[in-house]
Amino acid sequence: MCDGPGKVGWALTHAALPVVDMRANGGCRVYFSARDERGRARVGWADTTLQAGSWTPCPTPALDLGPLGSFSDNGVTSSCVVTTNGAKYHFYTGWSLGVTVPFYLSAGLAISEDDGTTFRPISNGPLLERNDIDPFLTASPWVFVEGGIWRMWYVSGLAWVMTNGTPMHKYHIRYAESRDGLVWDRRGVVCIDFKDNGEYAIARPCVVRDGGTYRMWYAYRGDRYRIGYAESSDGVVWTRLDDEAGIDVSPGEWDGEMVEYPIVVDVNGRRLMLYNGDDYGKTGIGLAEMVPA
């Protein structure tokens, strides 16, 4: 679908972690994360019909790096956009470099008052700081509002583990709630956990509600990322059904080694998945259509 904008300083490589925002005119705006020459990510967008060749990226980032020393001074990556009260709330992940571990991740929030063209962080600090519930990292929040309650599924770090002399992260997906989208009640509720000792990362949840069924797509990995799937009747207790994710790698293609970071959206009666392939989005964004069983 898209190889990324390229040839501009903030977006030389990658188009990762797509987020679809439906527009009033029936079109789509896809937010994504691209990297500069130092590998630092920023969030941009492209207006598109979700057809090949219809990708028109923005010239400047919609969400830039945070100030030096902040939780997002070495990168910001897209996660979820919620439209409410005439504004757009972009929940994202901020990156900063570590010493004893390679990096720190923290979930952040930026708000747009110009219909999603640019976003201003609500604070120089994170939305979900490290605390006793989430002591290592928070990332990739997926949010929607039901009955006045803001519901969030997010990545939480369990530990850093030394493996062959190198720190390796372990994280899975947890749940939180809020009354206003700003202050979150986190109680350590785990939604998607590892299915065996070979897994160490469960990333980037996307939740869709179909009547009384909540459906979640996410990325999970042992050796390489794959896209997983789970179902729930309440959005809190989930059953993993990864064999029903509906997508896998395509040997010899742009997504021949790994698939990850899915987002599922309904457009004109079609259920579509945007996702990344090899090298965490370096090969661009793919588009797949779900075919009824």
pLDDT band of residue 7 (cuts 50, 70, 90) is low
Contacts 24+ apart (CB under 8 A), 118-124: 118/62, 118/63, 119/43, 119/62, 119/63, 119/88, 119/90, 121/63, 121/66, 121/72, 122/182, 124/66, 124/67, 124/70, 124/71
Residue 293 forms part of a structural domain: no
Residue 99 has pLDDT above 80, yes or no: yes
Please name the residues in contact with 20: beta carbons below 8 A apart, sequence gap of 6 or more: 28, 29, 30, 263, 265, 267, 274
DSSP 3-state percent helix, strand, coil across the chain (nearest 5): 0, 55, 45
Residue reference for tokens 């929040």: 141
Residue 137 forms part of a structural domain: yes
Residue 28 forms part of a structural domain: no
pLDDT band of residue 255 (cuts 50, 70, 90) is very high
- Rounded Cα gap, residues 216 and 207, in angstroms: 4
Q: Which two tokens stand for residue 46?
A: 């492209």
- Concatenating the DSSP letter of every residue in 229-257 gives EEEESSSSS-EE-GGGS-----TTSTTSS
Residue 33 forms part of a structural domain: no
Question: pLDDT tens, 124-152?
Answer: 999 999 999 999 999 999 999 999 999 99
Region 72-101 average pLDDT: 97
Structural domain total, the chain: 1
The enclosing domain of 125 has a CATH number of 2.115.10.20
What pLDDT shows up at residue 8? Answer: 80
Residue numbers of the domain that contains 139: 59-274
The residue among 76, 93, 79, 6 whose CA lies nearest residue 40 is 76
Among 50-54, 167-171, 270-274, whose mean pLDDT is lowest? Answer: 50-54
Residue 249 forms part of a structural domain: yes
Question: pLDDT tens, 51-66?
Answer: 766 777 888 999 999 9
pTM above 0.85, yes or no: yes
Contact present, 172 and 192 (Cβ < 8 Å): yes
Q: What is the mean pLDDT of the chain?
A: 94
The residue among 170, 171, 211 whose CA lies nearest residue 191 is 171
Residue 199 forms part of a structural domain: yes
